Amino acid sequence: MLNIVVCVKAVPKPSLADKLKIDPVTKSLPRLDIPLVINPIDSHALEAALQLKKKYGAHVTVLSMGPPPAGNILRECLALGADKGILLTDRAFSGADAFATAFTLAKAIEKNGPADVIFCGMASSDGATEWVGPEIAVLLNMPVVSMVREILEDHGDEWIVKADVEHGYRIVKLKLPAVITVTRNLNKPRPLSFSGILKARNKEITVWDRQAMGLPPEGVGLKGSPTYVAAMYPLESHRQVEILEGSLQEKVDRFVQILSDAGVI
Amino acid sequence: MIDFTFTEEQELFRKAAREFSENCIAPHVPAMEETGRNWEPVIKAACEAEMMAITIPEEYGGLGLGYVERLIALEEIARVSVATAMMMQVGGLGIEPFIKFGTKEQKQKYLPGLATGERFATVAVTEPSGGSDPKSCHTSYTKRNGSYILNGRKCFITNSHIADTQVVMAVDNDNCDAFSVFILEKGMEGFKAAHEEHKVGMRGCNTGEIELKNCEVPAENLIGVEGKGMRVAMAVISDVGRGGMVGCALGLQQACLEASVKFANERILYGKPISELEAIQFKLADMKIDIEAGRLLGYRAAALQDAGGRAGNEFAVAKYYTTEAAQRAAKMAVDIHGGYGCMEEFAVSRYLRDAYVLGPSAGTSDIMKVIISRWVLS
């Protein structure tokens, strides 16, 4: 039976993004002020795992690093059909950059036992580095394919996947165990169901802190981060109205020019 | 201390119900409004999403959950479509007599199908002579050769044309004080759905008349004790019917508030969003106060019910408060929208029409006051 790990991140609810405030000192996004939800692309990673579970039978572990409220998203993943949740939570983990995050997740995956496939969303809606999945692969010495939009062959230990590249795609053969980061095009995540929520009652969420994982304080969180955020600021957007004058042709020309200048066309 | 928080699991139920409503119900609302019908896709979707299984015991294929969860689901559905929530709530009302008063055989026969949506239910009590005075019921039954022969007409019955299983109250032809409740099934000879209503609000929610002409009902379709049917009808209407209306009203109030906040933040007047005007802010505050108060009343009553008690009086208070508040909220929402509030493109015009259908459903506000005053004076 396949052992699948899905890395999920609790992110501020995207629809409330305009309510986010940037901490001027830490240059981070305080995550406890607005509701946390599953990083939208991670839902596609979980769906991929659940489809494999249905097809071949699999044990699906969902893994998240975050503050204690992130446990709620793991419970939701269990309600959607995952078998087990692991929450990595410790104040020492806070301020982690992509590398420290990948390091902590990779150590948790090792501690949890051998995994055949590790699914991640290609990026988070808040950090959006796209590095965590590939860095986990490096740390675990596994192959990785990023931005997978279709799994063409998933039987046995040699898979064939279709992955996005700029202006096209590539077909990649990979040998398990491997890390796969997915795009939104891969599948349509299933909805929560009432009976799924009830089934999650008996599923386990394990909580590990730094000590439980046996990690040195300097290897995790801000201390373990080789990069830092130099600055962070909200994007300003302004409405601007321009009434187009002239003949129809002139208006159309001007309109096309505006769209071109804005990079829309 | 009293814990007013929902459990983590209940919060997940709300999330599931909200996602379901926004993804599976909302796309059908325009056609429901346009045609006054188009209920099939929403009923099918709701049954597939286990909405009708909430309170049915697990041993009969249900989820075995409580009335708090039912209220959460109805509130979330009504936030998107009061018409759909109304059909769901009355469907639940039709299930309740089986749960509370059904024999083991009746439960085994009906509840699994009602849980999956293979069957859909309703309760038929109201008649042209009124619904708030059930003792004036004219639909009658006569016992003949071990069966019951029913004759009469019921009106304003939600799900009249779509329910396969209808729980109908009738009076004994030989004893005007004896009422009994029967299970009627679609296709029974002498039983048919008749006139279909076209309501000012809750369009797309099926409402109509049913007609009984020498309809022969087998003895095993009697629910509860013969002659004691008023207890069955009143218990389900007061505890489940009014509870359901609270869910419909709370969802509508929330929809009114959300639409108003959105519009008030976007509508620029005097060079700034109208949400910065105190006159608008106070309306929003009034709407929020009503929602908070209504939720406390409604969920407290549902929690009482889940604890095994009767909550008819508490639901009467909650039903009165929330349906009146929904009407206030809808009017304020339309007022905040100004001229746009009179346009059908804006949902608040629907909310206003829906709000006025909430009032008489499961008992008018005046009837709620009669019940509450009896409670106070008893």
- How close does chain A come to B375, measured CA to CA in Å? 36
User: Rounded to whole angstroms, what are the CA distances from B104 to A109, B61, B99, B146?
Assistant: 51, 14, 9, 20
Q: Which two tokens stand for residue A32?
A: 């406890």
d(CA A125, CA A9): 9
Q: For chain A, which domains are there?
A: 2-219 (3.40.50.620)
Query: What SS3 state is found at B160?
Result: coil
pLDDT in tens, B25-39: 999 999 999 999 999
pLDDT band at A4 (very low <50, low <70, confident <90, very high): very high
Amino acid B231: pLDDT = 93
In degrees rounded to 5, what are phi and psi of residue A200?
-70, -15
Q: Which amino acid is at B82?
A: V
Q: Are B131 and B156 in contact (CB under 8 A)?
A: yes
Q: Is the pLDDT of residue A31 over 70?
A: no
d(CA A40, CA A121): 8
Q: Is the pLDDT of residue A18 over 80?
A: no
Q: Inter-chain contact A193–B23, Cβ cutoff 8 Å?
A: no
In degrees rounded to 5, what are phi and psi of residue B150?
-105, 140
Q: Inter-chain contact B13–A197, Cβ cutoff 8 Å?
A: yes
Q: Inter-chain contact B63–A195, Cβ cutoff 8 Å?
A: yes
Region A45-74 average pLDDT: 96
Helix (H) or strand (E) holding B96: helix B82-101
CATH classification code of B231-377: 1.20.140.10
Region B36-48 average pLDDT: 96
For domain B8-120, the question of CATH label 3.40.50.880 is answered with no
In this structure, are strands A204-208 and B165-172 parallel, antiparallel, or unpaired?
unpaired
CA dihedral B260, B262, B265, B268 (to 10 degrees): -80
pLDDT in tens, B345-373: 999 999 999 999 999 999 999 999 999 99
In this predicted structure, which of A146-160, A221-235, B205-219 has the lowest mean pLDDT?
Answer: A221-235
Interface test with A, best of B15, B18, B72, B74 (most A CBs within 10 A): B15
Query: Where does CATH 1.20.140.10 sit in chain B?
Result: 231-377
d(CA B305, CA B301): 6
Helix (H) or strand (E) holding A147: strand A144-153
| CB of B76 less than 8 A from some CB of A | no
Q: Inter-chain contact B63–A194, Cβ cutoff 8 Å?
A: yes
Residues of chain A neighbouring B14 (CB-CB closer than 8 A): none
Any idea which residue has 């042209």 for tokens?
B128
Closest among B297, B298, B289 to B257, alpha carbons compared: B289
Amino acid B374: pLDDT = 96
CATH classification code of B122-227: 2.40.110.10
Q: Inter-chain contact B12–A197, Cβ cutoff 8 Å?
A: yes
Query: Where does CATH 2.40.110.10 sit in chain B?
Result: 122-227
pTM here is 0.91
Q: Which amino acid is at A240?
A: Q
Q: Inter-chain contact B54–A79, Cβ cutoff 8 Å?
A: no
Query: Where does CATH 1.10.540.10 sit in chain B?
Result: 8-120
Q: Is the pLDDT of residue A157 over 80?
A: yes
User: Rounded to whole angstroms, what are the CA distances from A55 to A2, A50, A60, A149, A195?
Assistant: 11, 9, 13, 18, 20
d(CA B176, CA B237): 21
Amino acid A14: pLDDT = 85
In this predicted structure, which of A129-138, B44-53, B124-133, B242-251 has the lowest mean pLDDT?
Answer: B124-133
Predicted-complex ipTM score: 0.91
Radius of gyration of chain B (CA): 21
Q: Are B81 and B25 in contact (CB under 8 A)?
A: yes
Which of B11, B51, B63 is opposite residue A198, by nearest beta carbon?
A: B63
Amino acid B67: pLDDT = 96
Amino acid A237: pLDDT = 75
Helix (H) or strand (E) holding B261: helix B242-266
In this predicted structure, which of A12-21, B50-59, B279-288 has the lowest mean pLDDT?
Answer: A12-21
Q: Does residue A79 come out as left (phi exceeding 0), alpha (psi in the -120 to 50 range) or beta? A: alpha
Contacts of B219 (CB under 8 A, 6+ apart): B146, B147, B148
Q: Is the pLDDT of residue A218 over 70?
A: yes
Residues of chain B neighbouring A192 (CB-CB closer than 8 A): 12, 15-16, 19
Radius of gyration of chain A (CA): 21
Residues of chain A neighbouring B54 (CB-CB closer than 8 A): 194
Which of A72, A79, A195 is opposite residue B50, by nearest beta carbon?
A: A195
Q: Is the pLDDT of residue B296 over 90?
A: yes
Q: Are B353 and B200 in contact (CB under 8 A)?
A: yes
pLDDT band at B1 (very low <50, low <70, confident <90, very high): low
Number of other CB atoms surrounding residue B296 within 10 Å = 13
